[in-house]
Structure 1
Amino acid sequence: MPYLDLPSHRLHYRVDGSTGPWLVFCNSLGTELTMWDAQVAGLEDRFRILRYDRRGHGGSGAPGGPYTMGDLGGDVLALMDALEIGRAHFCGLSIGGLTGQWLALNAPERFDRLALCATAARIGSAESWRDRIEAVRANGLAGMTDATRERWFTPEFAAQNPAIVDAILDRFAATSAEGYAGCCAALARADFRDTLDRISNPVLAIAGADDAVCPPTDLAMIADTVQDGALRVLPGRHIVNVESATAFNTALIAFLSQDHPCNNAEYAL
């Protein structure tokens, strides 16, 4: 397994595909790079794909926290620098979407188009994330799997795809408590509501229609506020790239293949 060794931690990453533009995938909280397996299968013939485990997750190291969005965005840039990736498309979900917003604001020249999925300019409250940190440090993540299943997947999808859902939740339960808490601290402080209008890269905001964590209204706000945004709502809850994998891939391919602006409208396929 390839790793990038940084001063405080190592990042586990994987590259798929051999031709086309670079596309970076950025995971949600409590998941690792396999959450994008269906996207890699559908897109690796069109893109060179970089996916990785966020610090504190999967095969990556968990340096002492708390973390900031600058830390998480800096890891993406460090990987791109190490692999000599000058520019790339970006697709991030949940905290991965917040990482994408930080990158678009702080390193826009490194990115072309960004898909910001099941995310918001502000997720939750500082108090709710502090409560989550305390609970995780006291009890770990295993006790949160039932509630996470409900937040992440519709009952119908979970019942019809138990192996897929159980594998994702098993990896969630195995996540480092300190790494998870460190990322919760970054979420507690992340708030891009006052700076979204500075994002000039084309943005596709993808929402799960039944996502209570980051509902479609949050994604519509992103699409309406950035300078060049579009919205796509797909069936599913928070992990919409898994629940609506085929439609997600279709929307992503269409968006990344466009040369014209999004024009702040519902994204039509």
Structure 2
Amino acid sequence: MDLEYRLDGPEEAPLLVLSNSLGTTWQMWQGQMADFARHFRVLRYNTRGHGHSPVPDAGITLDTLGQDVIALLDHLDVERACFCGISLGGMTGMWLNRHAPSRFSRLVVANTAARIGEAKGWQQRAGTVRQQGMAPVASTAAERWFTPAYRQSNPGMVKLLIDGLADTPAEGYAACCEALATADLRQEVAAMLRPMLAIAGEDDPVTTVQDARWLAAQAKQTESVTLPSSHLSNVACPEAFNQQVLTFLTRRSTT
């Protein structure tokens, strides 16, 4: 297993997989760990191209990212898990709901969409970081990730995450941009079978409230909720995020 991962929480508890957003690492989930580990064995991993998780020679697609999660479950001998992913991690969760529903009981997909942005924009961003490094992306990310009020009241957390983005390997980030350029699940949403919660940030300029509501309208057993945040809702309002996720994941199934 060449993916970088770590496990926390009681060994006998059911497994919850956390999947980070583009340009972050498993550290983005620190605000969730205390609450989640009371209920789950928590598996965090670094998406391909992030941290010390390598980029395959063949590059990265959404299929690559989904298959990575299945390989992790197989590596850990886990038959079925819960899942929570944000942004790119949320798209990974939707892929898993479509292509590996038997491996998951419930999934949370936050600040995401069945199609994020446009291919040309992602390809241009990949080219920019390959030519200029991560500085151009890092210099503008705070405005996409957080509201002005959050940036003003939490400068330390904002700096921590932006510094982490700046340290992301440029090739890894570019390869994930190329995965997003081709990732389009709009025609597959109706075939996603497992219960799913779509979390939106009311001020998210990247993946909108309308994106989450569309998922809830199109996918079976899917509901949406909106939190007072921009793109990184788990960081901006961890208490509300944790409550929504845990309420959904621990709900007894009626089917």
TM range (shorter): over 0.9
1:184 aligns with 2:180: no
How many angstroms apart in 1 are the aligned matches of 2:89 and 2:29? 12
Post-superposition CA distance 1:121-152 (Å, at most 9, x none): 00011111111111111111122223100000
How many angstroms apart in 2 are the aligned matches of 1:121 and 1:12? 26
Pairwise CA distance, 1:66: 2.9
1:20 aligns with 2:5: no
Equivalent pair of 1:27/1:92 in contact (CA under 8 Å): yes
How many angstroms apart in 2 are the aligned matches of 1:51 and 1:57? 12
The one-letter amino acid of 2:8's match is D
Say if 1:261 and 1:188 are closer, same or farther in 2 by CA, change over 3 A. Answer: farther
Which residue pairs with 1:94 in the alignment? 87
Which residue pairs with 2:146 in the alignment? 153
1:45 aligns with 2:38: yes
Equivalent pair of 1:234/1:240 in contact (CA under 8 Å): yes
How many angstroms apart in 2 are the aligned matches of 1:66 and 1:75? 13
CA RMSD of aligned residues (A): 1.3
Equivalent pair of 2:199/2:224 in contact (CA under 8 Å): yes
Pairwise CA distance, 1:119: 0.2
Pairwise CA distance, 1:224: 1.1
Which residue pairs with 2:118 in the alignment? 125
Equivalent pair of 1:133/1:181 in contact (CA under 8 Å): yes
Which residue pairs with 2:206 in the alignment? 213
Pairwise CA distance, 1:200: 1.1
Q: Secondary structure at the match of 2:33?
A: helix
Equivalent pair of 2:48/2:60 in contact (CA under 8 Å): no
How many angstroms apart in 2 are the aligned matches of 1:143 and 1:128? 14
Q: Which 4+ stretches in 1 moved above 6 angstroms?
A: none
Gaps of 5+ in 1: 5-9, 263-269
Pairwise CA distance, 1:195: 1.0
Pairwise CA distance, 1:204: 0.3
Equivalent pair of 1:126/1:189 in contact (CA under 8 Å): yes
Which residue pairs with 1:197 in the alignment? 190
Pairwise CA distance, 1:101: 1.0
**Residues matched between the structures, number:** 254
Equivalent pair of 1:58/1:171 in contact (CA under 8 Å): no
If the length of structure 2 is used for normalisation, what is the TM-score? 0.96
Identity of aligned residues (%): 45
Residue among 138, 150, 157 paired with 1:164:
157
Post-superposition CA distance 1:89-135 (Å, at most 9, x none): 00011111111111111111000100010000000111111111111
The one-letter amino acid of 2:3's match is L
Post-superposition CA distance 1:17-67 (Å, at most 9, x none): 014221000010000000011111211011010010011101222333531
Which residue pairs with 2:240 in the alignment? 247
Correspondence list, 1:232-243, <5 A: 232-243=225-236
Gaps of 5+ in 2: none
Which residue pairs with 1:267 in the alignment? none
Q: Secondary structure at the match of 1:206?
A: strand
